[in-house]
Structure 1
């Protein structure tokens, strides 16, 4: 029996750039591979949809279909499909010296990755953390 694995992630970052600058980088999906090392490829599927191929520290690729829900400040949100099902949300607010970003992601994982989650949850959570560290460093460098 395949029981889906559920994950919820949340992070808060203070960034040395304006909310508008952060938004401009985050909504430009096709440029993600230029600044986010774990995003290997992006293919635009339509006005509001794209396919991302990601690989963090572990040797496997995730294919994630993004559907834009909101591109307007303060909240940027995408629906997630493909290897993950759920959402990712970035809430941006002004803060001293730049902006504060709250990242939230909730996903369900099925199939082999979902099955592996029952044994490898700490490793998969660590892998996600490595991806987000790459995001933060790349985002700061991109602006």
Structure 2
């Protein structure tokens, strides 16, 4: 088993139509305003940006995200990531009654040296850290969407 390889899936049930959720999620540069763990997003061009995240543990992770697919009709947003983490992420939005089910999938390898050294003993903590980050992201997005 490669202890630095991770697969994550999060499901967010949101009481807002897909088009509204999609519009918020495609504006990655706005994430720091509603997602506390997304510390910064610096756009390099229309499809690429450098993102820094930090959750409960005192370490930042910085990576370049490059949009690989944007399909509002299918409710898809995909990105390739390189840097402290390398892999891909995907938002898939589907109607859920009057609201939206937002599914986030991420498959990454961790490149950050400290996290690689702590891969075996730290794995359960890193996974819990990701869950906390995603939970905070959902709460922040709900607040953001209610304010819009």
TM-score class, shorter-chain normalisation, is over 0.9
Q: How does 1:76-95 map to 2 (within 5 A)?
A: 76-95=77-96
Number of the residue aligned with 1:129: 131
1:42-62, CA deviations, whole angstroms, 9 ceiling, x for partnerless residues? 111122100111110001111
SS in 1 for 2:44: strand
Matched, 1:100 2:101: yes
CA distance in 1, matches of 2:135, 2:142: 11
Write the deviation string for residues 20-72 of structure 1: whole angstroms up to 9, x where unpaired.
Answer: 11111111111111100001111111221001111100011110211001221
Aligned to 2:110: 109
SS at structure 1 position matched to 2:16 = coil
Cα distance in 2 for partners of 1:132, 1:86 equals 18
> Which runs of 5 or more structure 1 residues have no equivalent in the other structure?
none
Equivalent position of 2:30 in the other structure: 31
Q: The residue matched to 1:59 in structure 2 has which SS?
A: coil
2-side partners of 1:7 and 1:43: how far apart?
25
Question: TM-score under structure 1 normalisation?
Answer: 0.93
Gaps of 5+ in 2: none
- State the secondary structure of the residue aligned to 2:40: strand
**CA deviation string 1:48-103 (max 9, x = no partner):** 10011111000111102110012213211111111000011111011113111111
Q: Separation in 1 of the partners of 2:18 and 2:68?
A: 18
Q: TM-score, normalised by structure 2?
A: 0.90
Count of residues in Structure 1 that have an aligned counterpart in Structure 2: 141
Secondary structure at the counterpart of residue 58 of structure 1: coil
CA RMSD of aligned residues (A): 1.3
Question: Is residue 139 from structure 1 mapped to residue 138 from structure 2 by the alignment?
Answer: no
Greater relative CO, 1 or 2 (CA 8 Å, sep 6+): 1
